[in-house]
Structure 1
């Protein structure tokens, strides 16, 4: 998107488009399952705090990170192979600001309903699987928080959840709107607007969402503001 804004001639090769779709699909699937891993980590930290360091060992941490990266290639390989085996003999202008599956499918010279069905199937299956992991984790988290007697304890336990839930809501809301909805309501122009959220807004908000819950970051941010106000007052 930044490249398209900065250059006058917006051109990409056929293989460059395929490569960008591959990596884009890989990282979208990875992010979904990384969020699921984070939900499981939240569950262990809140529901089993005394066993947390024993269960979430270094080996488990590596598995929670490597696992999401291992899931992506299966989905990405299927979509990329199916998409670029289609004949493209018409217009070559892509109605989007990055390489995505639906805009390139609209340029194919044949019926693409099978491709759209496969995309719907994979997006739905992966979304439901990662979403179920988060849903079950948060059900246990809610019950664990309700068992805490003090209001301060409940607030402290729940304060670790909103940042994660915010990122999940924005990402899954936009992904399901684009990839898991009837083709009759399909619109590339609407998709371009919605795509901005999970390609630009979420990466921009992530440092703010996750860092500002850290006490050290908050204290550092507060000291920086106080220092600036002191220098301005002088």
Structure 2
């Protein structure tokens, strides 16, 4: 559905068909855009491996830290290609700082070389070791929409089968606004629950942190 159709369906569901409207088009549009982001995160709906600004990062010799595109929240594959051999992709292992310290206690000061590991933070990544030459990071992962809907003909950047449920998020946000005419916590809660039933619960920050690394499942021996 295009944006104008989503707004019309929202008004039907909210019993807001008569002018002057209770809800402004601009507010409904904001809530629908929020709904697309929320759906993309909860359902992991947008996987990207081809968008250059999201999936490609240029690296410099001796530099370990790089920013990620603001839309990217989860990496599931990452490689580094050095300038001396740009056709040989070196796979990098996603890892936590704690696990990295178990492997190389001197990982922060280790000499530059061919990156083998990558630590993902909230908005960036760190290569370990830092590359000794210029290169390119190629990655794949899950992201939120690149641009919000603004025009009547714009469409959500998720499959059309999900579009109808975006209206539930807009209803949840609309009826949560403390306004004498529209405030209705019961309707807001029912709409949020229907949205959650379809797209799932929102992962909290701790779960998002856990998914940012892939710790090998091995048995570690201990002397007793």
Q: Determine if the TM-score, normalized by the shorter chain, exceeds 0.5.
A: no
| Structure (1/2) with the larger strand percentage | 2
What's the TM-score once normalised by structure 2's chain length? 0.29
Q: Identify the structure with bigger relative contact order (alpha carbons < 8 Å, sequence gap 6+).
A: 2
What's the TM-score once normalised by structure 1's chain length? 0.29
